[in-house]
Structure 1
Amino acid sequence: MIFSTILIYSCTKLHETAGGNLTSVQVTNDSSATVLLRGVYNSLEYPFTSYLQIFPLADISTDEAIVPTRANNWDDNGIWRDLHQQKWNSTSSIIHDCFNSLSGIVFAATDLLQYNPTAQQQAEARFLRAWAMYWQVDLFDQVPYREPGESVVKAARVRKGMEALDYIISEINAVEPSLPDGPASEANKYAAKTLLMKCYLNKAVYINRLNPVFVAADMDTVISLADEIINSGQYSFSRNYFDNFSPINANALIGKENIFTQQSNPDGNYLVSFAWLFPLDYAQGGFNGFCTLPDFYNKFDTADKRRGTAYSYPNSRPNPGNRVNVGFLIGQQYDLNTDDSLYSGLLPVIYTADVQNIETGSNLEMPGIRPIKYAPDYLNFYPPSPATNNFVYFRLSDVLLMKAEAISRGGIPTNAGIYGNTALALVNAIRTNPSRGVSALTSLSPNDLLDERGRELWWENWRRQDMIRFGKFLLPFQEKDYISDPKYLIFPIPDEQLAVNPNLVQNPGY
């Protein structure tokens, strides 16, 4: 009932648009443009922070995440099973909502451009539009667009594939000089450089998703952009890996790795608290939903602090037993105030590793390792009270891993910062930092690099993209024991959108 209420409350706000009821005569000063720009930022909140749109497509469709059905709980007509088993179709409500939300961001950012923004405001809006367009290319391979002020009665035009990616790259290059150096919660130069890295690293995939051929010149561009970010001196490893996701990660001295984040906002659509509510059991105040799989969990060394640790932070629970409270929760769970064993009714809350798409039996609530990436903000545990954890889009470690991958794919090695000039050195710079505390690798295969991206960036929306780039997405994994049809490398265009826009064409196979 709580989950349904939150969904109903949130969905009432999905179609609001910045500037939709204003005319260019009414919006004539910087303060008005500032309000409209904040509306563009706010339009990113629900699709990214609710874990109900981008995340299901990006992570539940992979070996990293699963949403088991427990009796009638989390069944939702099989929508979560369809995602994990790669059986979705063009009628999926999650796919429909995600496509619409991304299109809404593009519209809000484009709409702002007709209302006299300053050079920096225009640059920020165009960057945010490029960010949404990038996800449209990645997920759907088609990007509807209009020019500022163009009538919404006429069907939006559509850029596809490389035409869309080339436009995104040109936009980022055009606005980057007008973007500020920071803070991370606003569009900035280094967020633009990181997004360009994503574009060039995945360019071969967007040309041919089944058999990408990586070009050395593109890899050199990735490396050059990484060096610009590293040499800026703006970012370094945080004291604790989980500082980057804590309720005080907006403080640049705490979340020192964060390059681009979504700022906490009390408007009701900022729902990063779902990051802990969805996995945790009812006895812990959660909704007993999202889990990871044992094969993914077992990729971590036992000493790896990213796998789980006892984390103390402002307003955290006392945790007298020094129990693991962030990372992957497994085994007996405890009251973090008293250290008493937790019970759900008469059953002890003991999370077990093995998990299935459909759980049955008397103990069906407990299977599944529970991922907690964002340390719970106990002062704002439930929405609509907004958790103060800023939602993370880009981090330094992703930049280092992308540089390592670009070198391994034929790019020319370079020295920048203290991280070394080989793919192995870059990966080990992350692993051996005290905030991770893992021993160095002695060699680095493509599988090692993919696994390291999984260990470092789990639950951050990159797993599907990474598995596609490394040729693993369609292969069998836990609770999906077959090779999937290549059509699932791209999501379908929702039927509703095809009906109203003749410029959209259904993706092959759907």
Structure 2
Amino acid sequence: MKNLTLKIGMVAMAGLVFTAISCTKLNEELYGSKSVSTGGAGSASDLNGVYAQLNGQTNQANTYALQEHPTDEMMGPTRGTDWGDFGVWRKLHTHTWDAFHQQVSDTWDELNTGVYRATQVINTSGVSTQNKAEASFLRAYFMFQVVDLYGKAPFRDPAASSDANPIVYNRSDATDFIIKDLEYADTNLGTTAVAGHASKAAADALLAKVYLNKAVYKASTVGGPFTFVADDMNKVITYANKVIAAGYQLAGPGKYFDNFSWNNSTLSQEIILGLVNTSTNAPANAHNRWRMVMHYNQSPSGWNGFTTLADFYKTFEPKDERIGGSYPGLTNLNGLTTGFLLGQQYGPGHVALTQRNGSPLIFTPNVDLNYSTEAQGIRVIKYFPQPKADGSVNDDYATNTYVILRYSDVLLMKAEAIMRGGTDPNGQTALAIVNNIRTTRGASELTALDAKALLAERGRELYWEGWRRNDQIRFGTFNDPVDQRPSVSDKSRTVYPIPQRAVDSNPNLTQNAGY
């Protein structure tokens, strides 16, 4: 089994709690203040603290929200007094955020904290090659998200004077920095995926993603046009082939949702990078992924929040297993199905559920971003809980491994690189790669492949996994109108603003154009 999982023990979590109590100055330093403790790091416990910072990726807010809500596959409708939240979700979907938006600010803090903690480990005198390689991978991942979302990256050397403001890398230079970190990790990490540690395959997969997006990050104008050069596309293919050679496999026919089940750490051979949760220790608990969509009267009781868009749902063929349906051990006990929830919903014992007013709980395709009823909108169940024998669920310690990098993503990146002018030394074609995924998932073969078809396929395979914004920007569709956003948005929206308090506190930071 080729699963890479990151398991954070209670000792590491205790250390993280301590850090959270004392990190005010750290956060201020990262974004402009001039006082921070830069004590030594580099031990296993220090590295575990960097890994623990990844747990924030499972939050339904922050990085995940910024990567999904502005796209054509997710929205957060307001339902009466529920989910108003001062418009934070609506503003993301309508591309009307500003430099004071809560998710914009919180994500900046969270990701840059990860960069800083990893740098502390890397810069420690005497740090082992293994720890340095793992920390280099983690720093690259956090900085990749910063560069992708904000277009520039502040950086503080822990050895720098406490009076010095963090330097700021522009998008191009930060991309080169990320590649250098990942090359070091790729050279020095082991080939075996061990729970709690990064591997060569994780570095290779992220290198492929960086090179695939290099045209976006090196563009002279934010939002494009983008020039995908053959050398970069060949790099994508090279690194994708390394992952393929490591022995990962697509989930077989009828097994797509095994990648996200409560025992996906043993069922799935697609997980390259993931965060492990157990029945006694779930620091990266994925339960918000179902609670953020499920109705109050479903089991477990949800928060009745986010939905997909009807137009996105319509891109699936009826026989495509990725659209969802019954799942053994879930639906027969709990009534919940996987994938897209549409129509009458059922609970344990196959009891037809009702809304709070007693009317049938029938999820409908129509949804209004500003004024939805509690049953409007198609819900999405990608991860799902493990029911008890009576169908009830206690998901305080949900055991789903949270997936960050997945094998099918690597295959689709390779297909895209070939389509954009790269050459595969193994002779595969982009169409053959895509059709292999489609037929494995129960969908019909395509007869031709272009950019529109490949973006649609990435959506069907990777929906709600946190990559849609990144994909849409690269394919030039991010600013296009969608249901509930009728107008084209400005290309400046392809990066978020730097939080205003960060700009105010660090003279090396300048605000992004358009904000």
Alignment TM-score, normalising by the size of structure 1: 0.88
The CA deviation at 1:230 is 0.9
Residues 38-79 of structure 1 show CA distances to partners (whole Å, capped at 9, x for unaligned) of 111111112x10111111110100110011000110001111
Partner of residue 438, structure 1: 443
For residues 250-329 of structure 1, the aligned pairs below 5 Å read 250-251=265-266, 254-264=267-277, 270-284=284-298, 285-313=301-329, 316=330, 318-319=332-333, 325-329=337-341
Structure 1 220/463 Cα, relative in aligned 2: closer, same or farther at 3 Å? same
For residues 65-464 of structure 1, the aligned pairs below 5 Å read 65-113=74-122, 114=124, 116-181=126-191, 182-183=193-194, 186-208=197-219, 209-238=223-252, 240-251=255-266, 254-264=267-277, 270-284=284-298, 285-313=301-329, 316=330, 318-319=332-333, 325-335=337-347, 337-345=348-356, 346-360=358-372, 364-378=373-387, 385-415=396-426, 421-433=428-440, 436-464=441-469
Residues 385-429 of structure 1 show CA distances to partners (whole Å, capped at 9, x for unaligned) of 3321111111111111011111111111332xxxx7111100011
The CA deviation at 1:152 is 4.6
Where structure 2 has 5 or more consecutive residues not aligned to the other structure, the ranges are 1-15, 27-35
Q: Residue 250 of structure 1: SS of its match in structure 2? A: helix
CA RMSD of aligned residues (A): 2.5
Structure 1 490/22 Cα, relative in aligned 2: closer, same or farther at 3 Å? closer
Inter-partner Cα distance in structure 2 for 1:39 and 1:381: 30
Q: Is the 8 A contact 1:185 1:260 kept in 2?
A: no
Inter-partner Cα distance in structure 2 for 1:249 and 1:231: 22
Q: Residue 168 of structure 2: SS of its match in structure 1? A: strand
What is the aligned residue count?
477
Structure 1 92/13 Cα, relative in aligned 2: closer, same or farther at 3 Å? farther
Partner of residue 3, structure 1: none
Inter-partner Cα distance in structure 2 for 1:247 and 1:224: 33
Q: Is the 8 A contact 1:127 1:171 kept in 2?
A: yes
Inter-partner Cα distance in structure 1 for 2:378 and 2:17: 29
The CA deviation at 1:145 is 1.2
Inter-partner Cα distance in structure 1 for 2:127 and 2:406: 29
Q: Is the 8 A contact 1:241 1:305 kept in 2?
A: yes
Partner of residue 29, structure 2: none
Residues 64-123 of structure 1 show CA distances to partners (whole Å, capped at 9, x for unaligned) of 001100011000111111100101000000000000000110111112232643211111
Q: Residue 404 of structure 2: SS of its match in structure 1? A: strand
Q: Is the 8 A contact 1:381 1:387 kept in 2?
A: no
The CA deviation at 1:382 is 6.3
Inter-partner Cα distance in structure 1 for 2:284 and 2:90: 26
Q: Is the 8 A contact 2:212 2:232 kept in 1?
A: yes
Inter-partner Cα distance in structure 1 for 2:481 and 2:21: 37
Q: Is the 8 A contact 2:136 2:184 kept in 1?
A: no
Structure 1 264/494 Cα, relative in aligned 2: closer, same or farther at 3 Å? same
Inter-partner Cα distance in structure 1 for 2:283 and 2:103: 16
Partner of residue 32, structure 2: none
- More displaced 10-residue stretch of structure 1: 341-350 or 476-485: 341-350
The CA deviation at 1:267 is 7.2
Structure 1 247/56 Cα, relative in aligned 2: closer, same or farther at 3 Å? same
What code does the residue aligned with 2:227 have?
V
Alignment TM-score, normalising by the size of structure 2: 0.87
Structure 1 168/39 Cα, relative in aligned 2: closer, same or farther at 3 Å? same
The CA deviation at 1:169 is 0.4
Q: Is the 8 A contact 1:86 1:488 kept in 2?
A: yes
The CA deviation at 1:157 is 1.0
- Identity, in percent, stands at 39
The CA deviation at 1:312 is 1.9
Q: Is the 8 A contact 2:260 2:400 kept in 1?
A: yes
Residues 239-270 of structure 1 show CA distances to partners (whole Å, capped at 9, x for unaligned) of 6111111111222xx11011111222777753
Q: Is the 8 A contact 2:336 2:346 kept in 1?
A: no
Structure 1 352/236 Cα, relative in aligned 2: closer, same or farther at 3 Å? closer
Structure 1 11/92 Cα, relative in aligned 2: closer, same or farther at 3 Å? farther
Partner of residue 511, structure 2: 506
Q: Residue 261 of structure 1: SS of its match in structure 2? A: strand
Q: Residue 348 of structure 1: SS of its match in structure 2? A: coil
Partner of residue 48, structure 2: 38
What code does the residue aligned with 2:371 have?
E
Q: Residue 347 of structure 1: SS of its match in structure 2? A: coil
Q: Is the 8 A contact 2:355 2:375 kept in 1?
A: no
The CA deviation at 1:506 is 0.4
Residues 134-190 of structure 1 show CA distances to partners (whole Å, capped at 9, x for unaligned) of 011100011111224334543211111110001110111112122123137531101
The CA deviation at 1:272 is 1.5
The CA deviation at 1:487 is 0.9
What code does the residue aligned with 2:428 have?
N
Q: Is the 8 A contact 2:415 2:433 kept in 1?
A: yes
Q: Is the 8 A contact 2:55 2:275 kept in 1?
A: yes
What code does the residue aligned with 1:137 have?
V
Q: Is the 8 A contact 2:146 2:152 kept in 1?
A: yes
Inter-partner Cα distance in structure 1 for 2:18 and 2:47: 21
Inter-partner Cα distance in structure 2 for 1:82 and 1:122: 40
Residues 204-259 of structure 1 show CA distances to partners (whole Å, capped at 9, x for unaligned) of 111223210110111111111111111222444356111111111222xx110111
Structure 1 68/500 Cα, relative in aligned 2: closer, same or farther at 3 Å? same
